[in-house]
Chains A and B, each alone.
Chain A
Amino acid sequence: MRIGVVTFPGSLDDRDAQRAVRLASGEPVALWHGDHDLQGVEAIILPGGFSYGDYLRAGAIAAKAPIMAEVIDAAGKGMPVLGICNGFQMLAEARLVPGAHTRNAHQQFIRRDQKLRVENAGTAWTSGFDAAQEITIPLKNADGRFVADADEIKRIEDNGQVVFRYVGVNPNGSIDDIAGVSNERGNVVGLMPHPEHATEAGFGPDTRAAMASGTDGLTFFTSVIESTLVK
C-alpha cells in the first residue's frame, strides 16, 4: 500500500513517518507541500515538526499549502489521513477535524513517554487496537492544548470522535484529557503524541520488558494497511 507523507518547510518527523510506514510493510511516498499531486497514494500522513516556525498559529500556514487542496478533497472522499502533532494542528486549522490548539497550559515545551487510552478502535488508523487499550508513545510539543467550546466537546464525545485520551497525566491542559480526535467519518485522525517514534524495538519508549522496546505506534500504520485491504 502506498502511503504519502507530506513534507512542509519545517517538518521534522517526515522521515520517521516514512520509516514507520516501511516497518509496517507499506510503501512510503514522499509528497511535497508545494505540489498539487498526491502521486496515487491510498493514505496520507501529515507529519510532526514546526512548519513555518509555528508562525501565526501552529499549523495555520501549512494548512493553506498548495497540496492541502488535494488532501482536503481526498479526505472528503474517505481517504485515510493521519495528522501527528504539527500535522494534527494542520488538520484542525484546515477544519478537517474539530477543535484547535493553544500553548500548553504550563507554558513549557514537554517531551515524555505518554500513556494513552484508545477511545475509538473503529477508525482507519486504530482498527488494530482493542477497545480501551492503553498504549505508550512519545509526546513532544509546546502547543498541544486541545480546546473546543462546550457544545463541540459534547458533540464529538457523543459521536465517538474522541479517539485518544491522556491517561495518568494530562500533560498540557487539554479539555477532557483529549489527546486525539477524528472527523465524523473516522477516516481523518489527528493526535498530539507521536506513534512513528514507537515502531521499532531499541528506539521506542521503555517498557517493563526492556528499555526502549515499546512499539505501540506500529499498530497505527498496520491498521490503515489492513483496513484498506479489507475494502
Chain B
Amino acid sequence: MPTIVVEVMPKAEILDPQGKAVGNALARLGHSDLTAVRIGKRFEIAVDGPVDDAKLDEVRAIAVDVFSNAVIEDVVSVTVADA
C-alpha cells in the first residue's frame, strides 16, 4: 500500500519553545556547535489505491486545511514514500 508523507514545520519567525528546550539540552551535553533545533511534524498517510496527481493534490489540500495552520506553520513537502 503506497504511503504519502507530509512534513510540516513551524514558521521561521514563530518561537518554537520545544525546539529551544531541546537545543538547550544539546548545549548542556557539550554539542556547542549544534546551535539551534526546530521541531516539526511528519504525517504518513496510507493510501488504498494508486497515488496519482489527483490524489497528491487531494492530500496537498488536506495538508493546508487540516495538518497545518497557515498562521504558524508551513507545509514543507508532500511526497510519495518508496515502497
Taking Cβ atoms with an 8 Å cutoff, the residues of A that contact B are 56-57, 60, 64, 92-93, 99-100, 102-107, 145, 147-149, 152, 173
Contacts and interface: CB of A to CB of B under 8 A. Distances in A.
Q: Which 3 A-B pairs have CB atoms at the shortest separation, nearest pair first?
A: A100-B71, A100-B72, A107-B17
Contacts, number: 35
Interface of B: 10, 13-15, 17-18, 21, 66-67, 69, 71-72
B15 A105 contact: yes
B69 A60 contact: yes
Contacts of B66: 56, 60, 64
A26 to B, nearest CB: 33
6 contacts: A56-B67, A60-B66, A64-B66, A102-B17, A102-B72, A103-B17
Find the residue from A60, A102, A105, A149 having the highest chain B CB count within 10 A.
A102
* Interface of A, helix, strand, loop or mixed by DSSP: loop
A105 B69 contact: no
Find the residue from A57, A149, A173 having the highest chain B CB count within 10 A.
A57
Contacts of B18: 103, 107
Nearest to B72: A100
Contact of A106 (B17, B67, B69): B17
A99 B13 CA distance: 14
Contacts of B69: 57, 60, 93, 100
Contacts of A100: 69, 71-72
B71 A105 contact: no
B71 A107 contact: no
Contacts of A92: 71
A150 to B, nearest CB: 9
